[in-house]
Amino acid sequence: MTEALGFLWPSFVVAVCLVGIHAYFGIQVLARNVIFVDLALAQIAALGATVAFMLGHPAQSLATYGYSLTFTLLAAVLLAFTRAWASRVPQEALIGVIYVVAAAASILLIDQAPQGAEHLKQILTGNILTSGLGEVTVIVPLYLAVALVHFLLRHRLTKSGSLFWEFVFYATFGMVVTSSVALAGVLLVFSFLIIPAAIGVMFASTLPRQLAIGWIAGILTSAAGFAASFAFDLPTGAAIVCAFGAALALAGLIYPFVRGNRLVALKITVNTVRWGVAALIAGSAIQLAVTSRADQPLLDMLEHAAPSLRNLYFTKAEAAAYQDANDYAERHRLAAEQLIELERRSRTQGEPLDEAAVQRISSFLKSYAEMRKGEQFVMSEVRARARERVGWIVSLGLLAAALLLAPLPWRRLWTRFSR
Amino acid sequence: MGQTAPARAQERIRVVATTTDLRSLTEAVGGDVVDAVSLVPANFDAEEYQPKPQDVLRLKDARLVVRVGLDYDLWFDRLLEAAAARELGRGGPGYVDAAYGIAPLEVRGVTVGPGDGHAHGSGNPHYWLDPGNAEFITANIMEGLARIDPANAKTFETNRQAFLARLSAKLTEWEARLAPLRGMPLIAYHNSWPYFARRFRLDFADFLEIKPGVPSTPSHLAGIIETMRTRGVRIVVREPHEPERDVAFVGAKTGASVVVLAASVGALPGTDNYLALFDTDVAALVQAAAR
Residue A138 sits in a domain whose CATH number is 1.10.3470.10
Is A283 among the domain residues?
Answer: no
Residues of chain A short of pLDDT 50, as ranges, are none
Say which CATH topology domain B174-290 has.
Rossmann fold (3.40.50)
Q: Is B198 near chain A, with CB under 8 Å?
A: yes
Q: Is A185 near chain B, with CB under 8 Å?
A: no
* Minimum Cα–Cα distance from A126: chain B residue: B245
Is A271 among the domain residues?
Answer: no
Report the helix count and the strand count for chain A, using DSSP H and E.
16, 0
Is A268 among the domain residues?
Answer: no
Specify the amino acid at residue A269.
Answer: T
Banded model confidence at residue B279, pLDDT cuts 50, 70, 90: very high
Residues 97-126 of B with CB under 8 A from A: 103-110, 119-123
Q: Are A173 and A25 in contact (CB under 8 A)?
A: yes
- The reply to whether residue B242 touches residue A125, judged by beta carbons under 8 angstroms, is no
- The reply to whether residue A129 touches residue B216, judged by beta carbons under 8 angstroms, is yes
Q: Which of B36, B223, B261 is nearest to B148 (CA)?
A: B36
Q: Are residues A224 and A353 in the same domain?
A: no
Q: Are B172 and B166 in contact (CB under 8 A)?
A: no
- Measured between beta carbons, the chain B residues lying within 8 angstroms of A131 are 245
Q: Is A307 near chain B, with CB under 8 Å?
A: no
pLDDT of B6 over the 50 cut: no
Is A285 among the domain residues?
Answer: no
Domain count, chain A: 2
pLDDT of B253 over the 90 cut: no
Q: Are residues A249 and A320 in the same domain?
A: no
pLDDT of A1: 54
- The reply to whether residue B107 touches residue A132, judged by beta carbons under 8 angstroms, is no
Q: Are residues A141 and A82 in the same domain?
A: yes
pLDDT of B64: 92
pLDDT of B280: 94
| Inter-CA distances, B66 with B43, B78, B139, Å | 19, 15, 12
- The reply to whether residue A118 touches residue B103, judged by beta carbons under 8 angstroms, is no
- The reply to whether residue B246 touches residue A127, judged by beta carbons under 8 angstroms, is yes
Q: Are B195 and B124 in contact (CB under 8 A)?
A: yes
- The reply to whether residue A340 touches residue B226, judged by beta carbons under 8 angstroms, is no
Q: What is the residue extent of each domain of chain B?
A: 4-171, 174-290
Q: How many CB atoms lie within 10 A of CB A417?
A: 7
Measured between alpha carbons, how far is B185 from A111 in angstroms, rounded to an integer?
Answer: 36
pLDDT of B21 over the 90 cut: yes
Q: Are residues A182 and A102 in the same domain?
A: yes
Q: Which of A131, A336, A359 minimises the CB distance to B103?
A: A359
Q: Are residues A53 and A191 in the same domain?
A: yes
Q: Determine how β-strand B203-207 pairs with β-strand B185-188.
A: parallel
Is A265 among the domain residues?
Answer: no
- The reply to whether residue B43 touches residue A365, judged by beta carbons under 8 angstroms, is no
DSSP per-residue letters across B4-19:
HHHHHHHSPEEEEESS
CATH of the domain spanning B4-171? 3.40.50.1980
Q: Are B242 and B223 in contact (CB under 8 A)?
A: no
* Start-to-end C-alpha separation, chain A: 68
| Predicted-complex ipTM score | 0.76
pLDDT of A119: 60
Q: Are residues A229 and A316 in the same domain?
A: no
Range from B2-11, B48-57, B227-236 carrying the lowest mean pLDDT: B2-11
In terms of residue numbers, what domain contains A66?
2-259
* Minimum Cα–Cα distance from B44: chain A residue: A117
- Rounded mean pLDDT of chain B? 85
Is A383 among the domain residues?
Answer: yes
Determine the average pLDDT of the residues in B5-22: 76
Percent of chain B with pLDDT over 70: 91
**In this predicted model, what pLDDT tens digit does every residue of A265-275 receive, in sequence order?**
888 888 888 89
Q: How many CB atoms lie within 10 A of CB A170?
A: 26
Q: Which of B43, B107, B241 minimises the CB distance to A369?
A: B107
pLDDT of A32: 84
Measured between alpha carbons, how far is B222 from A134 in angstroms, rounded to an integer?
Answer: 19
Measured between alpha carbons, how far is A116 from B91 in angstroms, rounded to an integer?
Answer: 35
- The reply to whether residue A236 touches residue B217, judged by beta carbons under 8 angstroms, is yes
Is A95 among the domain residues?
Answer: yes
Q: Is A118 near chain B, with CB under 8 Å?
A: yes
Are B4-171 and B174-290 the same fold in CATH?
yes
- Measured between beta carbons, the chain A residues lying within 8 angstroms of B253 are 7
Measured between alpha carbons, how far is B236 from B169 in angstroms, rounded to an integer?
Answer: 28
Q: Are residues A360 and A222 in the same domain?
A: no
Q: Are residues A235 and A356 in the same domain?
A: no
Residue ending a domain, choose from A259, A274, A301: A259
Measured between alpha carbons, how far is B188 from B140 in angstroms, rounded to an integer?
Answer: 30
Q: How many CB pairs under 8 A join A and B?
A: 143
Measured between alpha carbons, how far is A308 from A294 in angstroms, rounded to an integer?
Answer: 21
Q: How many CB atoms lie within 10 A of CB B211?
A: 8
